[in-house]
Amino acid sequence: MPNPREGKVILGVNVLVLGYLPAAWQSTRLHPHSFIDPGYWNQIGEVAERATLDAVFLADGPALGDPSYDANAGRLEPVVNWSHVAAATERIGLIATASTTLNDPFDLAQRLLSLDHVSGGRAGWNIVTTRDGSAARNFGLPDIPARDDRYDRAAEFVDLILALWESAETGREVHHRGRFFDLDGRLRVPPSRQGHPVLLQAGGSAKGRALAGRRAEGVFAAELTKQGAIEHYREVKRHAIDAGRSPDSVKILPGLLLSLGSTEEEARRRSDELHELGPESYSVQWLSQAIGYDVSRLDLDARFPQDVLDAIIDPAHAGGSIGFRQSIYEQIRATGPTVREYLRQTRYTGSGHGGFVGTPEQLVDHIEDWWRSGAVDGFNLQPDVLVDGLEVIADEVVPLLRKRGLFRHEYTTDTLRGHFQAASA
């Protein structure tokens, strides 16, 4: 295993359009059309680049979210959006999430390689499978395929994408006959300065972790406890070794939800106020979506029933994210809260992705602790209100990391793959 105390921390920002909390849209610094305002997106890219961050992430939106609790129900297509931001930036990595369940491999290979080419080698693809039935119906499908089928399709999809990207460099046609795809052809898009986009993976199931070890260069993980993160870290690195790769070739980057303040009290007050500005049903609806169970049916003042906890970790369960369910399960087992207590607790500790409420100094302590413990290679930070939180990261968090020798003072590379590799040096 690589020594986690060598190299530098990798930092990205998961751009949840306006912020991860539903009340983010109420910021006085935003307007009703911020999410489609070119100036807003350029500002995000420019501030992230000023902080010398490794990358910004943006998810696709194959289904319309519930506007009663989802502040980010509307969003732009990430490849097109990042192509715009690429023109306003020079170094920051631009990572687009795109599903292997609802995309066509030839079309997606062409779009992503086009972004990589026009950005000068700064593109990345965050590989996901889609679990939302409403998204399937947007694509004319009656429902989402079973989980095992989704991951089998994802494995073939990724292999085919890589073959198509290779065809852009060699000029040789791809002739593929598989369970899910038949294809004869090659890409006409030229390769980028980094060859092809960096691959990241976001699934937490056993098949997702195996795919990450075999193919991914980064994992957008969901971790709530340090011990769980250490176990995940070691598991994916072992998969990489089994695939004949260096364990350092795949970077583990959990999401971390942030509410920051000049004091811990101020940060908690900010978190409380932002939660209370949102609809009361938000926490219940979000947790229901995350674990694939209707939490509104539970007694809020009782502990979680055993059958619900069993459903949370059942890989065959149709709804929710395996990675989120596993991390939530660990957190509930560790603290034994009532449902109401857990919903309150998630304001500060996160639900699915870990949460952090405190000062920039305390956040740097947390990042350093997990990094030196061999739990992570870095984090994807997710501010409560993006336009505010990103500036705090740039102006306060990053300088503190630099003082401790944990983060770069300036870019030494100009491709996303270069950023990842430089972090190991």
Binding site per annotation, positions for FMN: 60, 97, 151, 205
Return d(Cα 417, Cα 319) in angstroms, integer: 34
Gap between the Cα atoms of 24 and 31, Å rounded: 11
Question: In angstroms, rounded to a whole number, what is the distance separating the alpha carbons of residues 112 and 157?
Answer: 14
Interhelix angle 226-242/360-372, nearest 10 degrees: 40
Positions at the binding site: 60, 97, 151, 205
Q: Other CB atoms closer than 10 Å to residue 335's CB: what's the count?
A: 11
| Nearest residue to 198 (alpha-carbon basis) of 422, 419, 377 | 419
- Please tell me the distance from the alpha carbon of residue 319 to that of residue 321, in angstroms, as a whole number: 7
Look at phi and psi of residue 405 and say left if phi exceeds 0, alpha if psi is from -120 to 50, else beta: left
The beta-carbon contacts of 372-375 under 8 Å, at least 24 apart in sequence, are: 372/4, 372/5, 373/4, 373/226, 373/230, 374/1, 374/4, 374/230, 374/233, 374/234, 375/4, 375/223, 375/226, 375/229, 375/230, 375/233, 375/252
